[in-house]
A and B are shown apart, each in its own frame.
Chain A
């Protein structure tokens, strides 16, 4: 029965297309979302590197030095998410003697997922970064 056979065939393209679309979405998600995640990670790392150095350079063993260090971190103009969002929830920690090192953590950088969400990915992906800097940097550069 030829007619019945044909009616079985209809719908194949729909199924093939939907499978292909899911795969395509996954590939697009990998390129787009992973790309943004890696950039956010890198931006956060560069920020904490600079912030830790800024904080450490203000340390002098006093509480006023700690305040100046926190202000120096807050004053940094660097942004993330392709240079559009400012860093929030930044944590600045210091060595117990208040003069040796500073550690800066940017824990709260949530990248919104666009495509991978459609194939079972999370809605947001958090990319934290942290850096430690010494108050007396060893300068190997002249």
Chain B
């Protein structure tokens, strides 16, 4: 083989090597971005439901009317999403694209209809991580004991 021909041959090799290695590296980088971002969001969700659960557990449980229980749940949902029970109209959620209706709040009651614990979880949340989507339902979830004041006859202010 003449030296010139060999050179040309090598150029082809380099191209193939580049194609193969670039393919592997782009796949690895895409995976890194996808999982890294998803984990980042999941971690934020864990923090958010933890904070919401803690707030719910210390909050006064008012049940003067059915709408008061629902108002309480709305405050808890807002705490999870905005870090604030009554957020200003244009407040951005603490976790990207999280909406209050994606937060599930459920009271665990004893036989005498007193709350003993509260479950806070994320329902139907999708992470869009550029190269793929992840869907969370029922996760992350926390259960906090209820240690707040029980006021079945009071109305929400």
Interface residues of A (CB under 8 A from B): 2-3, 6, 9, 13, 17, 20, 24, 27-28, 31-32, 35-36, 38-39, 42-43, 45-47, 49-50, 53-54, 56-57, 72, 76-78, 82-83, 137, 139-142
Determine how close the nearest CB of chain B comes to the CB of A60; give it in whole angstroms: 14
Partner among B33, B58, B139, B145 whose Cβ is within 8 Å of the Cβ of A72: B145
For the residues of B in contact with A, the DSSP-based class is helix
Partner among A9, A76, A139 whose Cβ is within 8 Å of the Cβ of B143: A76
For the residues of A in contact with B, the DSSP-based class is helix
Known interface pairs A43-B140, A82-B42, A137-B58; A31-B145 also in contact (CB < 8 Å): no
Determine how close the nearest CB of chain A comes to the CB of B106; give it in whole angstroms: 12
- Report the Cα distance A26→B15, complex, angstroms: 26
Contact count A vs B, C-beta below 8 Å: 104
B46 near A39: Cβ-Cβ < 8 Å: yes
B139 near A38: Cβ-Cβ < 8 Å: no
B32 near A141: Cβ-Cβ < 8 Å: no
Determine how close the nearest CB of chain A comes to the CB of B21; give it in whole angstroms: 5
Partner among A35, A56, A76 whose Cβ is within 8 Å of the Cβ of B36: A35
Given A27-B32, A77-B143, A139-B60, 13 extra CB contacts under 8 A: A6-B7, A6-B10, A9-B10, A17-B17, A17-B21, A39-B42, A42-B43, A42-B50, A46-B47, A46-B50, A50-B50, A53-B145, A76-B143
In chain B, residues 98-131, which have Cβ atoms closer than 8 Å to a Cβ of chain A?
117
B25 near A57: Cβ-Cβ < 8 Å: no
Partner among B3, B17, B46 whose Cβ is within 8 Å of the Cβ of A46: B46
Kindly state whether residue B73 has any CB partner on chain A within 8 Å: no
Kindly state whether residue B141 has any CB partner on chain A within 8 Å: yes
Known interface pairs A39-B42, A50-B53, A78-B142; A141-B36 also in contact (CB < 8 Å): no
A24 near B25: Cβ-Cβ < 8 Å: yes
Determine how close the nearest CB of chain A comes to the CB of B22; give it in whole angstroms: 11
Determine how close the nearest CB of chain B comes to the CB of A105; give it in whole angstroms: 17
